[in-house]
Amino acid sequence: MSDIRISGIDKSYGQTQVLRQVSLSIEAGEFIAVLGPSGCGKTTLLRCLAGFERLNGGRIEIGGETVSAPGRHLAPEHRGIGVVFQNYALWPHMSVAQNVAYGLKIAGIPRSERNSRVSKVLDLVELGPLAHRRPADLSGGQRQRVALARCLAMESRVVLLDEPLANLDVHLRGTLEEEFAAFHARSGATMFYITHDQSEALALADRVAVMDKGRILQFDRPEALFSQPQSETVAGFIGEGRVLEAEDIRPLGDGHAAASVLGRPVRLRCAPGETARRRGKIAFHPGDLHLTNAAEAIPCNVTRATYRGAYLRAEVMAGPAGDIPLSVNIAAPAALSRGQRISLALRDGWVIPDAAPSHPS
Ligand SMILES: Nc1ncnc2c1ncn2[C@@H]1O[C@H](COP(=O)(O)OP(=O)(O)OP(=O)(O)O)[C@@H](O)[C@H]1O
């Protein structure tokens, strides 16, 4: 079994602490993504897991075996891990087949078995006809598939992917997202995918760890990150999330709470343990705001309206003082113009828990 337990790891380079008490518990066969802005420590976390870095504290176990801990450091080649780097790390002087075979050769697999494994995995990733090409004569997507074939050939039970779609065009990214999902289904490997692109993370992963400044803020299913963020940072980071102040929050006992937002009564979702509070923060998305004629709506002034095909995107200034910027998507056909007064109703939102745990794991 290739479950991964990362427990309270710290990593510093000189005086700079890059990872702070990072803990993640990943089930065997799970596809998880680590999502965070540039410089938050994603690659460092991957390098620690792969064994390219030693820890300053904490422990990493893979399949029940301690691979990193104080006084213990298992070499990368003994961790049963495959890594797909952004630049694919292919040997330029070797053919596709030789690149895939190389790890097997180093591991001492006899030639006949090597050859049969290589041709099998190249067929799986549909590169059989290109087996004799050099990496320089392949497209970016094909090189990516060679890197995946290498993990398949090594029968890696854990595959780490470091921003594998960066630098590729939108069309190819879509195709390769499907490729990763298919690879995961076929291999049953535990996948650890790092990216700063939330659409990739949300589309591919069973669970996503949101990381900022060397810490894990929340490790959850994509839907939970979107609809039940545990902190303002996560709320603002996922899906154009917006955070606003709410007053007089009163839980109703059914997973909802009544509150006042921008001086208007609203009904929101909340955590089961939520208690009555005078003030708090709420999270919502542009799609939660709707045009309305209701008397209790939020008055707004349109500052910009942009045609987006299926909907019109409006930027408005809202609230009694007209000083709160909001974004709203209005279903087509719609016509709005700058300076127009409209009324919006907030139909959904989430009360951000007050004292958020760092993450559930
Ligand atoms: N070998 C190193 N020596 C010193 N500092 C380092 C080293 N490697 C990384 N850092 C620093 O650690 C921090 C985290 O870097 P890391 O590459 O892990 O971030 P990241 O989230 O992967 O960023 P990106 O998405 O830009 O690759 C950065 O401030 C970086 O400058």
Pull the structure tokens for residue 97.
Answer: 């087949």
pTM of the predicted protein model: 0.86
β-pair partners for 281: 245
How many angstroms separate the alpha carbon of residue 39 from the centre of ligand 1? 5
User: What is the position in ligand 1's atom list of the atom closest to the CA of 36?
Assistant: 21
ipTM of this complex: 0.94
Residue labelled with tokens 């003030």? 279
281 backbone dihedrals φ, ψ, rounded to 5° = -110, 145
Mutating to test ligand 1, I would choose from 12, 35, 43, 48 the residue with most ligand atoms within 8 A of its C-beta, which is: 43
Nearest CA to ligand 1 atom 30: 39
Reported as a single tens digit per residue, the pLDDT across 159-201 is 999 887 776 677 777 777 887 888 788 878 899 999 999 988 9
Q: Answer whether 190's CB lies under 8 Å from 183's CB.
A: no
Pull the structure tokens for residue 223.
Answer: 């839907």
Reported as a single tens digit per residue, the pLDDT across 63-76 is 999 999 989 999 98
Pull the structure tokens for residue 231.
Answer: 């902190």
Q: Rounded distance, CA 228 to CA 230, Å? A: 6
Domains and CATH numbers, the chain: 4-227 (3.40.50.300), 242-351 (2.40.50.100)
Reported as a single tens digit per residue, the pLDDT across 47-56 is 999 999 999 9
